Structure 1
């Protein structure tokens, strides 16, 4: 609803550059149609192809974990609304057939309704859910929202902060202002998903940390202890959720295999396990985190014995594959 990304639509009071759009209605209409499209595709697949192909269909959601700004019940409620407006927005319909009650109460007639048949179709349309987790936030209650400035962001009646009421940071900053390292958040989000949404199959489809390409020396980017520590702590929390809480995690995907173009940050942020030299024919160099992953996941192999060069079949024939 901010108009920052394509197609650049939002209310004019949100961003002057937006030439068209309505931040109070369009996000909900788009999400509603996404859910119906997903459910229709799942229904078709299950009716015509699943018996022979035995495939599974799910979707992936980005979400922070949220903690209360204070012990005030209003901030605790704001935390629940934050989860509902991020994660429950799609998970509730796919599990129960309708949007979270907090969204119905706050958005009212601007939130689309499912017909009885649509609700039945959307409910149970997930064979698994993908979870993208990077960071966490404190949620503080916002009592009053200007009725002339309604938007998806404002409808949750909360603000998200990096520090709580006592000045405690949610976690250290890492490469991007929005990315604070909060390893326990992935465990809490996985546990919450199990408890709230009937213990679905879960794939952690994105998890990672960035270096600032503008300010970080090459040596620190390649010898990326911060990334090793990040993954070690996050994988430990995923493992704990599985072993001690019975969360049904089926897979984990690091973001990302290589440095790449990162949304509005472009090439200024590096999330990759592999260093890409953008100035010298895209030469690739495995970072220390690549070798750490190898030793972590394939302990019987030595990282020195593995050829990290990309296969030619990926279509990089014109690029130098050497380390």
Structure 2
């Protein structure tokens, strides 16, 4: 990578004046207070109760007690110099049964207090409406995201949040990582709600209804709140970068296909009106169809793209890989090493997480090029380390690998911003005028 400051350090000066640095959480992972404040059960509350679902038997009933200790958490964020906090609102705290009839005023009061305190501390709120914690009643009575009825209820929930918090919240995320809800929640079943019998087309139906629900929430905001509140509404997609394993055409196409099954699955319908052709070819009738009315309704229902990105993989074409259904149907093989044995990057604690900073740069520029240079927020990024119970506090705090991870990925974001300026213009000759190895590489790969 090119220089990003003295001794390769990335500095604030590398980023535009309005660039936002923040932190992110999700309600179920931090709030606790499962049975306080009038909250109803979510699918994760129930899922975690089932023995064998969670490896160590833990749950979110207390978590880090953010519900009671949010002021300490916000003060810590402020002391670290962060300017934004992306939090999620628990649907079951606003409507305990999920149905949008009787607002739980205690839940509204909690989020009002949270939002007011972060603003008091100079932190801008970024609110996620759905971070996987569906009210359990909706799952039990109508099948959750498998029912098109959920679109109406999600819109009612979104409207309640816009009405109660939108005078202060100007950045809204409808759904976080719909791919994970669809595949792991309704396909494989290792996420809530679980209980699935194998992997079938149900995950694609869940995804379909999430796209419609996202569009319905954006529609509500634009019709009823945008003119007065002046905010923005986006969608957060999770995506690994897919680097072609070789220069073979089949591997290059396979890498494109892999991105279709991550990004294109959700963004193509919104920007272009339908699913990627590569998905239609491989899924057939398992992939739902948008009516002409739906296509018109969902088009351009987005103000920004949120990207959760942690890692990258080499991608090769494979006619029938020995993998779970979601990858078999893509006809791709996700590879972590070159033929020489060299890994794509150092591995973190999770077996799937490799440290590949340049993958984020390529992903950001791919999104900019494919979808017309939209506003992009990197809404999640980070790594884990092995839980060493014998380590001293000093050893734990000396987390040089994590520091290196963030420096590398932040430098890649800074480079992506510069490359978008030069590459993602109508004429590629502008790109060649910038003399740098990174720009040359972006032209060769085809991703600015």
Identify the match of residue 256 of structure 2 among 73, 77, 80.
80
Looking at structure 1, the residues matched to 360 and 312 of structure 2 have their Cα atoms a distance apart, in angstroms, of 9
TM norm structure 1? 0.69
Cα offset for 1:165? 3.4
CA distance change for structure 1 residues 150 and 204 in 2, over 3 Å: closer, same or farther? closer
Looking at structure 1, the residues matched to 313 and 220 of structure 2 have their Cα atoms a distance apart, in angstroms, of 39
Identify the match of residue 291 of structure 2 among 115, 119, 139.
115
CA distance change for structure 1 residues 34 and 216 in 2, over 3 Å: closer, same or farther? farther
Q: Who is 1:292 aligned against?
A: none
Identify the match of residue 421 of structure 2 among 242, 246, 266.
246
Which consecutive aligned stretches of 4+ in structure 1 deviate over 6 angstroms post-superposition? none
Q: Who is 1:42 aligned against?
A: 218
Identify the match of residue 226 of structure 1 among 401, 421, 424.
401
Identify the match of residue 205 of structure 2 among 22, 29, 53.
29
> What are the Cα deviations for residues 11-62 of structure 1, in whole angstroms up to 9, with x where unaligned?
44xxxxxxxxxx2201100000000011011112111111111111101111
Contact 1:128 1:200 in 2 (8 A): yes
Identify the match of residue 361 of structure 2 among 182, 187, 210.
187
CA distance change for structure 1 residues 129 and 121 in 2, over 3 Å: closer, same or farther? same
CA distance change for structure 1 residues 227 and 55 in 2, over 3 Å: closer, same or farther? same
Looking at structure 2, the residues matched to 145 and 232 of structure 1 have their Cα atoms a distance apart, in angstroms, of 35
Q: How does 1:163-174 map to 2 (within 5 A)?
A: 163-174=337-348
Contact 1:25 1:151 in 2 (8 A): no
CA distance change for structure 1 residues 70 and 213 in 2, over 3 Å: closer, same or farther? same
Q: Who is 1:320 aligned against?
A: none
Q: How does 1:1-323 map to 2 (within 5 A)?
A: 1-12=187-198, 23-144=199-320, 151-214=325-388, 217-218=391-392, 219-246=394-421
CA distance change for structure 1 residues 95 and 220 in 2, over 3 Å: closer, same or farther? farther
Looking at structure 2, the residues matched to 85 and 6 of structure 1 have their Cα atoms a distance apart, in angstroms, of 21
> What are the Cα deviations for residues 152-186 of structure 1, in whole angstroms up to 9, with x where unaligned?
33211112121133433111111211110000011
Looking at structure 1, the residues matched to 334 and 324 of structure 2 have their Cα atoms a distance apart, in angstroms, of 17
The secondary structure found in structure 2 opposite 1:199 is: coil
Cα offset for 1:71? 2.4
Looking at structure 1, the residues matched to 245 and 321 of structure 2 have their Cα atoms a distance apart, in angstroms, of 19
The secondary structure found in structure 2 opposite 1:61 is: strand
Higher relative contact order (CA 8 A, sep 6+): 1
Contact 1:95 1:124 in 2 (8 A): yes
TM norm structure 2? 0.50
Unmatched 5+ residue regions in structure 2? Answer: 1-186, 423-448
Looking at structure 2, the residues matched to 203 and 160 of structure 1 have their Cα atoms a distance apart, in angstroms, of 26
Cα offset for 1:109? 1.4
More helix by share: 2
Cα offset for 1:116? 0.8
The secondary structure found in structure 1 opposite 2:208 is: helix
> What are the Cα deviations for residues 301-321 of structure 1, in whole angstroms up to 9, with x where unaligned?
xxxxxxxxxxxxxxxxxxxxx
Cα offset for 1:126? 0.9
The secondary structure found in structure 1 opposite 2:352 is: strand
The secondary structure found in structure 2 opposite 1:204 is: strand
Bigger drift between 1-10 and 78-87 goes to 1-10
Looking at structure 2, the residues matched to 210 and 152 of structure 1 have their Cα atoms a distance apart, in angstroms, of 25
CA distance change for structure 1 residues 204 and 83 in 2, over 3 Å: closer, same or farther? same
Cα offset for 1:150? 8.8
What is the total number of aligned residue pairs between the two structures?
235
